[in-house]
Structure formats: C-alpha cells, structure tokens
Amino acid sequence: MTDLPTVRLKPKANARAIRHGFPWVYENELVTDRRTKKIEAGSLAVLEDAERRPMGLVAVNPNSKIFCRMLDRNMDASIDQAWFEARFAKALDMRARLYDTPFYRLVHAEADGLPGVVIDRFGDTCVVQPNAAWADRLIEPMTAALASVIGVQNILKNASGRARVLEGLDEENTVLLGAAPSEPVPVVMNAATYMADLTGGQKTGLFFDQRANHGFAAKLSNGARVLDVFSHVGGFSLAALAGGATSAMAVDGSAAALGLAEKGAAAAGFEDRFTTRKGDAFDVLEALAQEGETFDVVICDPPAFAPNKPALEKGLRAYERVARMAAPLVADGGYLGLCSCSHAAELSLFRNASARGIGRAGRRPQLIHTGFAGPDHPLMPQLAESGYLKALFFRL
C-alpha cells in the first residue's frame, strides 16, 4: 500500500496516545495543506508522526473533525474483503461464546476494530450503520465479508443518525443483500419478546445494550407494580413482566414504539398485565404524581441529553430533573432505575446529578447496582466514548 497518500502529525500532537491505541486523529493535530484537504472522504492513507515515521493505515475524511481513523497498524495490510472477514470472524467468535441466540451487537465500532461501524444481528438479518465515510466507500467488500462469515440472508444499511451527518454522509437507507423483513422481527431476551422494526424503528430497530440491565430490573420486579418511562418498545417493562411483575406501564412519546411494545407483550402472554401511556415523559411523570400514583419499581431510560461536551451542563440538569420527578412515584422501599446513554456525562457526573434530583424530591437513596452496556458492546479503554451507557439502581 505504498502508493497511498500520507498525512503527518504536527510536532505537538500526542503521537504517544495514538501509538498506545487511541484510534482518532483530529484535524488540528495534522499538518494540513491543499493536498491533504483534497483527499477524498473515505480514502485510505498512511499516518506518519512528526518525524515522518509510519504509524499505520488510516481512513481520511477532510469533512469531519475526526480527520483520521486508525484501521490497521500493519502498513502492508490490504483493506479488502479478506480483511473484513478476519475482523468479523473475531467479532463473531466472542458473541457466539456469550450468547446462545443469534440476536446481539456483532460489531461495536472502534472496540471491534471497525471504526464508525455498528452492526446488529437479528437472526438471519444484519443491520449495518456505516457511520464513517470509509465504511460507506467500502460497503461492497464489507457486505460480501459479512455474508460470507456470518451466513445471514439479508443485510440492511441504516443511514440514520447524527454521526453520519457529522461525517457529511447521506441518510438513505438501502437493502445491501436479500430483502428487508416485511414484519417486525421477534427477539427473545430475558424471557421477554421484543418486536424489532428493522426498517422504520429507532437506530437498528432494538437496543441490545440494555440486555443485562433489563435482566437486573426483572430481579427487582417479582410481585411489583412497574413504571417504564422512555420505554421505546417496552425494554424494561416487558422484562419486568417476565420477571413476575403484577403490572407494568410503558410510557413513550412514540405511538409506533408503544404499538410494538403491545405486540411484544401479547406474543409473550403478558397483555393482561401491560398498559401503555403515550405522551411527553415529563408531562406524564407530573400527571402521575398529581393522580397520586406510586409504583414499586420505576425505570427511566431517556435519550442522550448530553450527546457532546457543549450540551453537558444542560444534559445534567435534565437528568437531575428526571430523578426529581420520578423519585416521588416510587413507593417506600421501592426501586428507581436511572439510565444515561450520553458519553459526555461520565459516570460520576451522572451519578451526582441523579442523587441531587432524588435528594431534591425529599427521598433518601441507597445505590444498590451500577450497570453498563452488555459485553456485545465492548469498551475500548483508550476511547471513553465507547463506554457510553450507565444504569444506576437505587432503593428509596
């Protein structure tokens, strides 16, 4: 690959961090000129340190603040179908050891050696989110490798999401192989059945990252009345019913998501114990308090209130508000689960905001468990952003 263009770090750039595994190079760390800025988005290049010593093969996008993403430390590597097959084989080996079901996150971006690429598996269908320009450019060998290694019949491209916008990419969803399922796909986790809409749902259709946290909440829910706020397709509420909850209410702003939750409850035989309430989560929390409602278990799993550092302070106030409004709905001795998928709100900040909100509600909490994303969402130690999910469970 000696015919590739080169990009070079500035003398003050942190070359040591990159050598120790940090996978990104920002625009302000590179020597940029007309030549480097003319490199097409998604092209491959050789990254050099300030002394012109090669550091690895990178994918380049002059349109992104993340100018380079490290692909391979081996200068002789060919980023082709065989290269993708090797990455997928390693990813599959770990998931096959962890799960006895073909439903999981197969590729978790940088942590699985495929920067910006997310792939969720739903049985014989994979949904790919190529959230970096290089992955869009090499989608054909990636698709061929995925079909070869995993053996799935259908591969869908999901182009939605903020990450692709930041990369300057399109938002067009397409079928890469086979066909899109005509109906929601039933996914069994924690003895609950979830209905995943792979073409019209949020993200890839289902959030596998909360699997372990759903299971923990289910342990608290035997004989309990449960409230699941920001429920999506019934993540915590359906798991709670499988765990023996006497009733569960799912609250979400999306009628479509609640409809899928109802189908999931019916598929598992829980429909007589399951109700939904459509509306803005904060409005519903306020209304339930005015109605004098209490629950034995309350779980709040909101969207990312702090998706980046500029939004951090506002996001932490929102998490505090969730805790303050949810805490009064928890019966004495009951449990409150609070979640954050904001990587900018690291654990201690999120925990402190949650504790402040509970305290402002006049409740005394015991923190009994801290959960994270499941092992099919591995964390890359050098990249804090890969460890985004936090779940705090309090007894009040």
Q: Give per-residue pLDDT as tens, 135-187.
A: 999 999 999 999 999 999 999 999 987 888 888 898 899 999 999 999 999 99
pLDDT number for residue 132: 95
| Residue 114 domain-assigned (yes or no) | yes
Can you tell me the distance from the alpha carbon of 125 to that of 155, in angstroms, rounded to the nearest whole number? 6
Does the residue 283 lie in any domain? yes
Both 380 and 273 in one domain: the answer is yes
Share of the chain above pLDDT 90, in %: 89
Choose one of 177, 195, 220: the last residue of a domain. 177
Please check whether residue 366 lies inside any domain of the structure.
Answer: yes
pLDDT single digits (tens) 338-354: 999 998 999 999 999 99
Residue (of 347, 359, 350) closest to 313 by Cα position: 350
Out of 45, 72, 99, pick the residue that ends a domain. 72
Residue 243 lies in a domain: yes
Q: Are residues 196 and 334 in the same domain?
A: yes
Per the structure, the complete domain to which residue 295 belongs is given by 185-395
Which tokens go with 29? Answer: 């760390």
Q: Report, as an integer, the average pLDDT of 102-113.
A: 97
Q: Is the pLDDT of residue 39 over 60?
A: yes
> Which residues, in sequence order, are CB contacts of 360 under 8 Å at separation 6+?
320, 324
User: 1 in a domain, yes or no?
Assistant: no
Q: What is the average pLDDT across 304-319?
A: 94
- 34 conformational bin, left if phi > 0, alpha if psi -120 to 50, beta if neither: alpha
Residue 341 annotated in active site: yes
Residue 394: beta bridge partners? 336, 367
Query: Tens digit of pLDDT for each residue in 55-86?
Result: 999 999 998 999 999 999 999 999 999 999 99
> Would you state the structure tokens that stand for residue 274, as one six-digit string?
């399951």
Given this model, what pLDDT does residue 203 score?
A: 77
Structure-token pair, residue 5: 């263009």
Q: Are residues 280 and 137 part of one domain?
A: no
Query: Do 67 and 86 sit in the same domain of this protein?
Result: no
**Interval 222-244: pLDDT, tens:** 999 999 999 999 999 999 999 99
**135 and 247 part of one domain:** no
Average the pLDDT over 86-98 and give the result. 98
Average pLDDT over residues 260-271: 97
Domain check: are 232 and 311 in the same one? yes
pLDDT of residue 61: 95
Q: Report whether 306 contacts 339 (CB < 8 A).
A: no
Q: Are residues 89 and 190 in the same domain?
A: no
Q: For residue 384, what pLDDT band results from cuts at 50, 70 and 90?
A: confident
Does 154 lie in the same domain as 20?
no
Q: For residues 251 and 323, what is the distance between their CA atoms, to the nearest angstrom?
A: 16
CATH number, domain of 63, equals 2.30.130.10
- Does 24 score more than 60 pLDDT? yes
CB 230 within 8 A of CB 251: yes
Q: Are 357 and 332 in contact (CB under 8 A)?
A: no
Average pLDDT of every residue of the chain: 95
| Residues 343 and 254 placed together within one structural domain of the fold | yes
pLDDT of residue 2: 61
Looking at residue 183, its pLDDT comes to 95
Please tell me whether residues 220 and 365 are part of one structural domain: yes
Domain count, the chain: 3
Q: Catalytic residue, from 68, 126, 339, 341: name it.
A: 341
Residues 270 and 310 in one domain: yes
Task: Determine, yes or no, domain membership for 314.
Answer: yes
189 occurs within a structural domain? yes
Predicted confidence (pLDDT) at residue 34 exceeds the cutoff of 90: no
Please check whether residue 223 lies inside any domain of the structure: yes
* Amino acid in the structure at residue 26: Y
Q: State which of 143, 177, 211 marks the end of a domain.
A: 177
CATH code of the domain containing 142: 3.30.750.80
For residues 237 and 293, membership in a common domain is answered with yes
